[in-house]
């Protein structure tokens, strides 16, 4: 069984060891087993360490089925070789910050809201926990999230001590663990301050102050639970710097003080909506004029009229306005389209007195042309990569002669 040095010292980044065995994976890679190792293997939601073993790059570290720590490397080493090992400290310390921050956040959720953490993921760019809240809640209010952040970051400012150790069975029984351990033997406990106790085999800093900062960046329901996504330490600092730079740029673009950006953005959006409304009305008038003067009109032997026209990027509202103009007339069917990039927006409508099923007509048409859509018997909309949909629809109408 590999002697795991990181249990004793999370700050150990260089050490010597001996190769117990080396198993080839392919022509270039192998899995190496050492008699003792400070490389952390993927477990408990925390990713593996990377680094070098005798100058060979470590690309994965995991626990095999026998409980030994396995190191995948780019290269090969002879059994018995004494090796110099170096851990990527930046990656290790980042994981230490994220994992300790997770403990503090999960502990605060438990103390304040009775939430039980049932899942942890330390990702490359952010981390998350899944929380089961009493009463089936899947959301926290903004002020509740702020209360979590305030509590955790105050404890970080207090630089509460972090202790990791293997208590004996008697001591373990007395400890107020936040949740039951996942193992029954060799239980390792992490203590932060005086009220956060949790079984954990991960790596952590020696005090909370080294976490620096914890920031919740997202909170949403996920599979019947609450998922909190957060950043700790340098990740939180880089996120703050990015947000700060963005705010400064927006302040310059909108000519507004930072505390007035929201009002400035709302005013700008209202202006945009007003202009968009006027533009849509203008497009609608142009569409109506076009169908009056240039649309192809076909009168069927049964007396109903089919009006067909393809516009260039006028949008749905303008199509709807044009269709309304057409179907105000008795016995009229509007087959309209607007080319939108690589796709064609479709709108089928009929006068109130006709019995054609526009929903059925549209679905049958787009099924042939590879599109999608639907609606009601009187009005249907959809899209298709092929503008021939109008011709197909017209042919179906004229052939069926009103038996849709």
- Residue 404: predicted pLDDT: 45
CA–CA gap between residue 310 and residue 327 (Å, rounded): 17
The more confident residue out of 261 and 279 is 261
- Residue 276: predicted pLDDT: 82
- Residue 307: predicted pLDDT: 87
- Tell me the pLDDT band of 146, cut-offs 50, 70 and 90: very high
- Residue 292: predicted pLDDT: 67
pLDDT digits (tens, 9 = 90+) for 22-41: 999 999 999 999 999 999 99
Assigned CATH topology for domain 3-87: Elongation Factor Tu (Ef-tu); domain 3 (2.40.30)
Average pLDDT over residues 84-89: 98
* CATH assignment of 93-241, among 2.60.120.620, 3.30.980.10, 3.40.50.1100, 3.40.190.10: 3.30.980.10
- Tell me the pLDDT band of 120, cut-offs 50, 70 and 90: very high
Average pLDDT over residues 306-310: 86
CA–CA gap between residue 375 and residue 323 (Å, rounded): 14
**DSSP result, 156-206:** HHTT-BEEEE---HHHHHHS--SS--S-SSS--EEEETTTEEEE--S---S
Could you tell me the residue ranges of all domains in the chain? 3-87, 93-241, 279-400
CA quadruple 146, 149, 155, 158: dihedral, nearest 10: -80
Q: What is the CATH number of domain 279-400?
A: 3.10.310.40
3-state secondary structure of 15: strand
Average pLDDT over residues 252-261: 92
Average pLDDT over residues 265-277: 91
Highest mean pLDDT pick, 209-223, 265-279, 358-372:
209-223
- Residue 17: predicted pLDDT: 97
The more confident residue out of 321 and 171 is 171
Q: Is the pLDDT of residue 403 over 50?
A: no
CA–CA gap between residue 390 and residue 362 (Å, rounded): 9
Same fold, 3-87 and 279-400: no
Return the closest-CA partner of residue 316 out of 351, 272, 348, 356: 348
The H or E element spanning position 252 is helix 234-254
CA–CA gap between residue 251 and residue 163 (Å, rounded): 45
CA–CA gap between residue 177 and residue 290 (Å, rounded): 74
Pairing of β 3-4 and β 36-37: parallel
Among the residue ranges 50-64, 194-208, 384-398, the one predicted with the least confidence is 384-398
- Residue 279: predicted pLDDT: 81
Average pLDDT over residues 195-213: 95
The more confident residue out of 79 and 295 is 79
Pairing of β 189-192 and β 162-165: antiparallel
Burial class (CB in 10 A: 0-12, 13-18, 19+), 241: exposed
CA quadruple 68, 72, 78, 80: dihedral, nearest 10: -30
Query: In which residue are the tokens 């018997």 written?
Result: 377
pLDDT digits (tens, 9 = 90+) for 316-349: 888 888 888 888 888 889 999 888 888 889 999 9
Q: What is the pTM of this model?
A: 0.75
Average pLDDT over residues 72-80: 96
Among the residue ranges 142-151, 249-258, 290-299, 305-314, the one predicted with the least confidence is 290-299
- Tell me the pLDDT band of 295, cut-offs 50, 70 and 90: low
3-state secondary structure of 54: coil
Average pLDDT over residues 66-83: 96
- Tell me the pLDDT band of 350, cut-offs 50, 70 and 90: very high
- Tell me the pLDDT band of 14, cut-offs 50, 70 and 90: very high
């Amino acid at each position: 069984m590999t002697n795991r040095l990181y249990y004793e010292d999370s700050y150990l980044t260089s050490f010597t060891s001996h190769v117990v065995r080396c198993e080839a994976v392919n022509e270039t890679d192998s899995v190496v087993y050492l008699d003792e190792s400070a490389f952390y293997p993927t477990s408990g939601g925390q990713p593996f360490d990377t680094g070098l073993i005798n100058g060979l790059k470590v690309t994965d570290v995991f626990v095999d089925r026998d409980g030994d720590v396995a190191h995948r490397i780019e290269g090969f080493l002879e059994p018995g070789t004494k090796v110099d090992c170096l851990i990527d400290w930046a990656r290790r310390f980042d994981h230490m910050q994220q994992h300790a921050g997770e403990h503090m956040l999960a502990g605060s959720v438990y103390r304040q809201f009775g939430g039980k953490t049932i899942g942890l993921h330390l990702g490359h760019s952010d981390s998350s926990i899944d929380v089961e809240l009493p009463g089936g809640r899947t959301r926290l209010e903004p002020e509740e999230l702020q209360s979590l952040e305030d509590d955790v970051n105050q404890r970080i400012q207090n630089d509460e001590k972090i202790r990791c150790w293997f208590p004996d069975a008697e001591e373990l029984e007395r400890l107020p663990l936040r949740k039951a351990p996942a193992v029954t033997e060799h239980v390792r406990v992490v203590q932060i301050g005086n009220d956060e106790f949790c079984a954990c085999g991960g790596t952590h800093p020696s005090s909370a102050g080294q976490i620096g900062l914890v920031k919740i960046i997202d909170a949403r329901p996920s599979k019947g639970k609450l998922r909190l996504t957060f950043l700790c330490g340098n990740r939180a600092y880089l996120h703050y710097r990015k947000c700060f730079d963005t705010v400064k740029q927006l302040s310059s673009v909108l000519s507004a003080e930072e505390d007035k950006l929201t009002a400035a953005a709302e005013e700008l959006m209202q202006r945009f909506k007003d202009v968009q409304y006027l533009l849509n009305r203008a497009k609608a008038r142009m569409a109506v004029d076009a169908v009056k003067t240039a649309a192809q009109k076909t009168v069927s032997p049964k007396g109903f009229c089919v009006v067909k026209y393809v516009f260039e990027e006028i949008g749905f509202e303008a199509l709807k306005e044009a269709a309304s103009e057409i179907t105000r007339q008795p016995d009229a069917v509007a087959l309209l389209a607007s080319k939108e990039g690589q796709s064609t927006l479709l709108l089928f409508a009929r006068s109130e007195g006709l019995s054609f099923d526009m929903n059925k007509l549209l679905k049958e048409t787009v099924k042939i042309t590879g599109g999608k859509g639907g609606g009601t018997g009187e009005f249907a909309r959809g899209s298709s990569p092929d503008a021939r949909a109008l011709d197909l629809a017209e042919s179906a109408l004229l052939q069926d002669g009103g038996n849709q």
